[in-house]
Amino acid sequence: MDLVFSRLDDSVARFTIHGATPAFANALRRSMIGEVPTLAIEDIRIYDNTSVLFDEMLAHRLGLIPIKTDLSQYVPRSECSCGGEGCPHCTVMFTLSVEGPKMVTSGDLISMDENIVPVHNNIPIVKLWENQKVVLEAVAEVNYGKEHAKWQPTLACGYSEYPVITIKDTCDGCGKCVAECPRDVLELTKDTVSIRVVNGESKEKDCSLCRLCETACMDSGIGQDPAINISSDSTKFIFVVESDGSLPVKEIIERALLHIKSRSSDLIEALQEGL
């Protein structure tokens, strides 16, 4: 298998996997969404809440705030040596104490660990008027996205099969397919249609597989056999992974792959023990 990145920074990764199966691609996707742990606020103790939001609404909003996570320092609570009791190795305590008038934002959360802070400081939590007050303690814990969406490290996370565009000799260069394509993948050159090339890079992979060009070609009166044909290579996958900021994308991919690996080795162990 082969991995080619076309974009990789802290928040977004685009890469192509060659020589995989849909099952493997999906395993990777599912692992990235549900099996890479992050920190999110789980328990809160409210000392005072005279805001317009009810306690449970406030708690829900706090839970959804993405928190920068260092997985070398913290482990999932259920796998922690404390046995799920909650210790400094799997949980982080935050405090929030704000008096109105003010918009309470994620930046007002004070962390016990200076490295563990909300990803953004400007996420609104609740707007306070005069004489309104919110005082609370929040405990963030490390857990998995399959448990609750707040622990998902990813935002958009998906893949598509690699498009394969073939243009036959029967093409009469009417250009109907070029006008129909929503992704500007095709262009008209010298009485025939070809795949557009921008900066030396073929736009083939931008194709959304919508096959509107095929329909357009058939509508041009060419018959039931279109001159352009869209198919896909189900051994090549174009991935898009976007991080919510709690973990760098690279770590999300790595951790997801490690998870697949550890599940496999668990099976091998079980298999060997069984024999």
- CA torsion sign, 257 to 235 to 164 to 180? negative
What's the CA gap between 38 and 68, in Å, rounded?
8
The stretch near other proteins (CB under 8 A) out of 75-83, 94-102, 131-139, 153-161 is 153-161
In three-state secondary structure terms, 50 is coil
**By CB under 8 A, residue 150 contacts other proteins:** yes
Residue recorded with tokens 């668990």: 266
Q: Does 56 bind other proteins (CB under 8 A)?
A: yes
In the complex, the smallest distance separating the C-beta of residue 79 from other proteins, rounded to whole angstroms, is: 20
**Residue 33 sits in the site that holds other proteins (CB under 8 A):** yes
Find the farthest-apart pair of alpha carbons in the chain and give their distance in angstroms, rounded. 77
**Minimum distance from CB of 33 to other proteins (Å)?**
5
CB of 97 or CB of 232, closer to other proteins: 232
Best CA proximity match to 133, nearest among 46, 63, 42:
46
Burial class (CB in 10 A: 0-12, 13-18, 19+), 104: buried
148 binds other proteins (CB under 8 A): yes
Is residue 268 involved in binding other proteins (CB under 8 A)? no
Using CB under 8 A as the binding rule, whether residue 182 contacts other proteins is answered as yes
* Stretch of 75-83, 91-99, 143-151, 244-252 lying at the interface with other proteins (CB under 8 A): 143-151
How far, CA to CA in Å, does 199 sit from each of 185, 203, 273? Answer: 14, 10, 56
Residues in touch with other proteins (CB under 8 A): 22-23, 25-27, 29-30, 33-34, 52, 54-57, 60, 64, 146, 148-150, 152, 154-161, 179, 182-183, 208-212, 232, 234, 238, 240-242
